[in-house]
Amino acid sequence: MKIFYSEEHRKHYPPYEVFDGGKRVPYFENPDRMDRILTALKKTVWAELIEPTDFGIDPILAVHDKEYINFLASCWTEWLASDPEIAATPEQHAFLPATFALRRKTRPTSSLHGRGGYYVMDLSACIVEATYKASLSSANCALSAASSIVNDQSSTFALCRPPGHHAGKDYAGGYCFINNASVAANWLAAKGKVGLLDIDYHAGNGTQDIFYDRSDVLTISIHGNPDFEYPHYAGFADETGAGAGLGFHKNFPLPKDTGDEGYLTALDEALAMIRNFAPNYLVLSTGMDTFDGDPLGRFHVTQHGFSQIGKRIASLNLPTAIIMEGGYANEALGTNIVTLLENFK
């Protein structure tokens, strides 16, 4: 199996994030996640690590607002230029806004922090010097996986970092800056119908935002109910698309403590919808934070559960671009990914 991966992600390593209640904590979405997965992949006989191709900016601008991408590109240098004290010790800092736009007839302002509060939705999307470059590389991993499944008509894995599914058309959030899976799905949509299934623990609000009024990409997300779980404002069952996209989006908000049985029941329903849609390609937003014991999740999916999840999705027999999203139980992360992927090789 082709595994698209780049070392560019390593320098995107904010020194902290801010949790609910204002507590500053070490950054959960860190390079150790990739190291655990790489170690597990290198123990297999079927994983072929490949550098991604640079697809340029156009496939990203086909999904994301140009001014938002410009903000990501210039934020760090603008911030350093504005504050000599921060510029003297940049490794100790991360850009985060203090004011967040409610998006009720709001618009970005000329000030950096004003734009930050417009384009960043929470305190986990921390921007440092290498964030933009790492995000571009991550998107290119996803695009390379998409290109591979068209050319080879087989499945492949994009080991993306930063992840992407919380990034909307014009905002970052939840460790995500460019929506890798959506960029890949949009690129594939020019080749045929696309199904996008999100199995991360958290609702794929950014993906929902991007495709909500489209009928050429069926989007489905299985996740913790936003009544108790991040992102809290999106991912409800009655959100089913709008306009031309009405009926082409489906959320499966599941209760706390969902285990293998409950998860697989929802997955089977989602797979029936995909079969009925009959796409040419599948994009799989793959989060491992449904795992029992993940520090950012409240589900209890086991490694056996991941094996079954992989087996059932692979039974669709679709060329599948598997895109890495979340998963923060680092000690088990590599094993969990390999357990799922080996069903597609």
Phi, psi of 199 (to 5 degrees): -110, 15
The torsion of the CA quartet 173, 217, 188, 234, rounded to 10 degrees, works out to 10
Check 166, 202, 223, 300 and give the catalytic one.
166
In the 3-class helix/strand/coil scheme, how is the chain assigned residue by residue?
Answer: CEEECCHHHHHCCCCCEECHHHCEECCCCCHHHHHHHHHHHHCCCCCEEECCCCCCCHHHHCCCCHHHHHHHHHHHHHHHHHCHHHHHCHHHCCECCCCCCCCCCCCCCCCHHHHHHHHECCCCCCECCCHHHHHHHHHHHHHHHHHHHHHHCCCEEECCCCCCCCCECCEEECCECCCHHHHHHHHHHCCCCEEEEECCCCCCHHHHHHHCCCCCEEEEEEEECCCCCCCCCCCCCCCCCCHHHCCCEEEEEECCCCEHHHHHHHHHHHHHHHHHHCCCEEEEEECCCCECCCCCCCCEECHHHHHHHHHHHHCCCCCEEEEECCCCCHHHHHHHHHHHHCCCC
Q: Which amino acid is at 47?
A: A
Told to judge if 166 belongs to the known catalytic residues of this protein, a careful annotator would answer yes
Q: What's residue 17's pLDDT?
A: 95
Q: What's residue 283's pLDDT?
A: 99
Q: Where are the domains of the chain?
A: 2-55+132-341
Q: What's residue 298's pLDDT?
A: 98
Distance CA 115, CA 94 (A): 15
Q: What's residue 138's pLDDT?
A: 98
Distance CA 32, CA 295 (A): 15
Phi, psi of 18 (to 5 degrees): -120, 120
> Mean pLDDT of all residues in the chain?
97
Distance CA 137, CA 130 (A): 11
Q: What's residue 291's pLDDT?
A: 98
Class level of CATH domain 2-55+132-341: alpha beta
Per-residue pLDDT of the chain (345 residues; tens, 9 = 90+): 999 999 999 999 999 999 988 899 999 999 999 999 999 999 999 999 999 999 999 999 999 999 999 999 999 999 999 999 899 999 999 999 988 888 777 888 899 999 999 999 999 999 999 999 999 999 999 999 999 999 999 999 999 999 999 999 999 999 999 999 999 999 999 999 999 999 999 999 999 999 999 999 999 999 999 999 999 999 999 999 999 999 999 999 999 999 999 999 999 999 999 999 999 999 999 999 999 999 999 999 999 999 999 999 999 999 999 999 999 999 999 999 999 999 999
Q: What's residue 21's pLDDT?
A: 83
Two tokens at 88?
């003297």
